[in-house]
């Protein structure tokens, strides 16, 4: 598997993202579909990188995206929240960071720029949704335990296919936030899905979630992880082949 650091500028920051491509993967030769992978609030670490590797093994060109510039990773939750507050307040900055990754991936010789999707985890899922709201050139977006609210909800029709995978008991994504998102997707005429997983809370895809020591709010769930990944693959089979 090939791996390289891909550097680009987005939102005034120098992003250092990780590109993965497996020439031996079993998809046809020529330009391949690309997938952006946006990380959780703690920045580009092993969780997002491992998912990018998995996507590359399936034949995609995957870009695990830097979130804060220079591949910086916050040292704790308070610092991460502080770094994210300006992005929550101004979704145009979130879209700029996500869009920089999209432009960098689309420019790669290995990638078919007409066949790109975006996935993300936690805030990274929110970044993917902001690409859809901005009508960026992506065919599909997927959010895993992603925040669903935006200060700039969609006002124009959403063209990308949308899938969000949410823990039904996630205290960070309560039922009223889900209902508001449903209303937004309907108003935008989106082709959307929301998958809810019972007995599941936040960060259910992250095997290191227990390190947060918050089992009632943040906990890995192997079944929900596998089911949501399978749902993503089904969507990509429909949109990127």
Percent of the residues in the chain that have a pLDDT greater than 90, as a whole number: 93
pLDDT in tens, 166-212: 999 999 999 999 999 999 999 999 999 999 999 999 999 999 999 88
pLDDT at 136: 98
Provide CB contacts within 8 A for 12, sequence distance 6+. Answer: none
pLDDT in tens, 11-49: 999 999 999 999 988 665 689 999 999 999 999 999 999
pLDDT at 57: 96
pLDDT at 77: 86
Q: Give start and end residues of each alpha helix (H) in the chain.
A: 46-57, 77-89, 91-106, 123-133, 175-187, 222-239
Residue 202 DSSP one-character state? B
The residue ranking higher by pLDDT, 211 or 139, is: 139
pLDDT at 92: 97
End-to-end alpha-carbon separation of the chain, Å?
A: 21
Once rounded to an integer, what is the mean pLDDT over residues 63-80?
95
pLDDT band of residue 215 (cuts 50, 70, 90) is confident
Count: domains in the chain: 1
- The β-bridge partners of 14 are 9
Instruction: Give me the chain's average pLDDT, please.
Output: 96
pLDDT at 213: 87
Helix (H, G, I), strand (E, B) or coil at 159: coil
Distance of CA 217 to the CA centre of its chain: 20
Query: What's the domain range around 159?
Result: 2-239
Cα angle: 88, vertex 92, 96; to 5 degrees:
110
CATH number at 83 reads 3.40.50.1820
Q: Which of 100-114, 203-217, 227-241 has the lowest mean pLDDT?
A: 203-217
């Amino acid at each position: 598997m090939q791996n390289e650091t891909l550097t680009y500028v987005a939102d005034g920051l120098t992003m250092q993202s990780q590109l993965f491509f497996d020439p031996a993967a079993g998809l046809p030769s020529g330009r391949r579909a690309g997938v952006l992978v946006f990380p959780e609030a703690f920045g580009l670490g092993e969780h997002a990188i491992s998912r990018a590797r998995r996507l590359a093994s399936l034949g995609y060109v995957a870009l695990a995206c830097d979130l804060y510039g220079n591949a910086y990773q916050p040292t704790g939750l308070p610092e991460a929240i502080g770094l994210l507050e300006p992005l929550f307040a101004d979704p145009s900055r979130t879209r700029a960071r996500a869009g920089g990754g999209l432009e960098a991936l689309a420019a790669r010789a290995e990638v078919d720029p007409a066949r790109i999707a975006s996935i993300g985890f936690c805030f990274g899922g929110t970044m993917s949704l902001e690409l859809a709201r901005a009508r960026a050139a992506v065919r599909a977006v997927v959010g895993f335990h992603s925040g669903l609210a935006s200060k700039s909800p969609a006002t124009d029709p959403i063209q990308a296919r949308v899938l969000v995978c949410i823990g039904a008991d996630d205290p960070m994504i309560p039922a009223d936030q889900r209902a508001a998102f449903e209303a937004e997707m309907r108003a935008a005429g989106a082709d959307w899905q929301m998958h809810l997983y019972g007995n599941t809370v936040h960060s259910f895809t992250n095997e290191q979630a227990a390190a947060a020591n918050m089992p009632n709010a943040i906990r890995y769930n192997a079944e929900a992880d596998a089911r949501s990944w399978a749902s993503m693959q089904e969507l990509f089979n429909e949109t990127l082949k």
